[in-house]
Amino acid sequence: MKKSTDKLQKFFEMTGNEADSLIFLKSFQSIDPEKFLLIYMDTEVVLESFSTFFYDLKILYSLELFPIILTSQDSISYIELFFKGVFSSEKDLKKNNELRCDILPFSADNIPDRVKITVKRKHIPFVVMETEEDFISKATSLVKNLRPSKFLILTPGGGLRRVNTNERISIINIRSDYRTLADENLLSIEDLNLIDNLKNILENKITHSMNIAITSPMTLLKELFTVKGSGTFIKLGSEIQHIERLERLDKEKLKYLLESAFRKKIDPKFLDSKIDSIFLEINYRGAALLKKCKHGFLLSKFAVDEIARGEGIGRDVWNEMKRHHRTIFWRAKPENQIHKWYANECQGMDKGDDWNVYWINLEIEKIPEVCKYLRSQSQDFIV
């Protein structure tokens, strides 16, 4: 029991966020083991950072998570030369059960089935290409056949950066950001070609939900197990529905989203109240519920699934809401963790002991009345 606790403690120290890490860990452990993660690492990354990556790999292994590693024969030759024992014989493994890894040539028949068998044996598969040329086609084949929940591309720089400022780009939404990135030359030619390939995978090559991130091996665990992440998160973009009647929703799914996001029980009366404008991610992973008032729209509830917060779904819902409505105001408890985000998004705010009030495009003379109105409203959650 103590050994298991020590492993978790070390894991939390590496991620720096126990609450996020537990949520992601439970999510990853609940899916088929071969669907956990696909990682691509080229020879440059192996030469510079394999010792760090190997340490993280042992932590994942201790948590019974078995990523699929896609790399080249040159990388494997280096690992075998300088990290003896990574690919051990069964006899050696009996002496040391810290980590078990198998080499699977990509050219072998039925590679997806062999990967599944390897993971079922609780070994980590290293799928080996002869060269790194066109690694995308090899990765695409693994993605289509194994359906991993996440695809990580490891780079020394740890993410994509704007060519003019060298600022790291945290999220790329293909549907809304791609055209700007391409037309305004914000990325290097090499990075834009990579985005083109990843865009093709997300749009045409897969039928399941998958996240892609470009990150550094130095921050691998933070990318996997925290909402903030550490590299460049790439997604196709959320599909957000605009609905004008609460009756058109699955109320049980909405209730689950609200209660899990706020970690409180919702008053049943709220789900029968009048909501005039709803922005909903189609899988009920994020929602904004608004009521029309004489001065604009009151944002009654803004809720995002805990894991979806790291995928930018909240931002997609928020942007769609702002696109439809000009004047929006809302309130939140001062201790609410989203306070800083709200402060960045609003055009003005009024702090209070019980409630902070925020607004966008609210006329100055109407601010006192709106603040009084919001602070007079009863709570919709059962305290």
| Average pLDDT for 212-221 | 93
Which tokens belong to 169?
A: 């780009």
| Predicted pLDDT of residue 90 | 54
Nearest CA-CA partner of 243 in 202, 289, 205, 193: 289
β strands within 25-177, DSSP E: 38-41, 68-72, 101-105, 124-129, 150-154, 171-173
* DSSP string for residues in 286-344: EEEEEEEETTEEEEEEEEE-TTGGGGTHHHHHHHHHHHH-S-EEEEE-TT-TTHHHHHH
| Predicted pLDDT of residue 227 | 81
Backbone angles phi, psi at 329, to 5 degrees: -140, 155
In the block, which residue shows the tokens 């990843």? 198
| Predicted pLDDT of residue 97 | 57
For domain 240-382, is the CATH number 3.40.50.720?
Answer: no
In the block, which residue shows the tokens 């609410």? 336
What is the rounded average pLDDT for all residues in the chain? 90
Chain centre to alpha carbon of residue 118: 26
Q: Is the pLDDT confidence value at 2 over 60? A: no
Domain residue spans in the chain?
2-235, 240-382
| Predicted pLDDT of residue 213 | 94
Mean pLDDT lowest among 15-29, 117-131, 284-298, 358-372: 15-29
Q: Is the pLDDT confidence value at 372 over 50? A: yes
| Average pLDDT for 2-6 | 59
Q: Is the pLDDT confidence value at 246 over 70? A: yes
pLDDT tens-digit profile of 78-103?
Answer: 999 888 778 866 555 555 557 899 99
- What is the 3-state composition of the chain as percent helix, strand, coil, each rounded to the nearest 5? 45, 20, 30
| Predicted pLDDT of residue 1 | 45
Higher pLDDT, 205 or 202: 202
| Predicted pLDDT of residue 302 | 97
Q: Helices (H) and strands (E) in the chain — how many of each?
A: 14, 17
| Average pLDDT for 321-337 | 94
User: Could you give the CA distance from residue 125 to residue 2 in angstroms, rounded to a whole number?
Assistant: 29
218 close to 159: Cβ distance less than 8 angstroms:
no
| Predicted pLDDT of residue 5 | 64
Q: In terms of residues, how long is the chain?
A: 383
User: Could you give the CA distance from residue 275 to residue 73 in angstroms, rounded to a whole number?
Assistant: 59
For domain 2-235, is the CATH number 3.30.70.250?
Answer: no
Q: Is the pLDDT confidence value at 138 over 50? A: yes
Highest mean pLDDT among 53-57, 272-276, 298-302, 306-310: 298-302
Partners of residue 291 on adjacent β-strands: 298
User: Could you give the CA distance from residue 209 to residue 284 in angstroms, rounded to a whole number?
Assistant: 14
| Predicted pLDDT of residue 310 | 76
| Predicted pLDDT of residue 175 | 84
Residue 363 has what DSSP assignment? -
In the block, which residue shows the tokens 């359906």? 147
Nearest CA-CA partner of 347 in 337, 365, 332, 362: 362
| Average pLDDT for 327-337 | 93
| Distance linking the first and last C-alpha atoms of the chain | 36
pTM for this entry = 0.80
- The confidence band for 142, taking pLDDT boundaries of 50, 70 and 90, is very high
Partners of residue 72 on adjacent β-strands: 129
Return the exposure string of 286-299: e unless at least 16 CB atoms fall within 10 Å of the residue's CB, then b.
bbbbbeeeebbbbb
| Predicted pLDDT of residue 226 | 87
| Single-letter amino acid, residue 23 | I
- The confidence band for 211, taking pLDDT boundaries of 50, 70 and 90, is confident
Nearest CA-CA partner of 235 in 182, 311, 321: 311
pLDDT tens-digit profile of 109-137?
Answer: 889 999 999 999 999 999 999 999 889 99
| Average pLDDT for 184-192 | 91
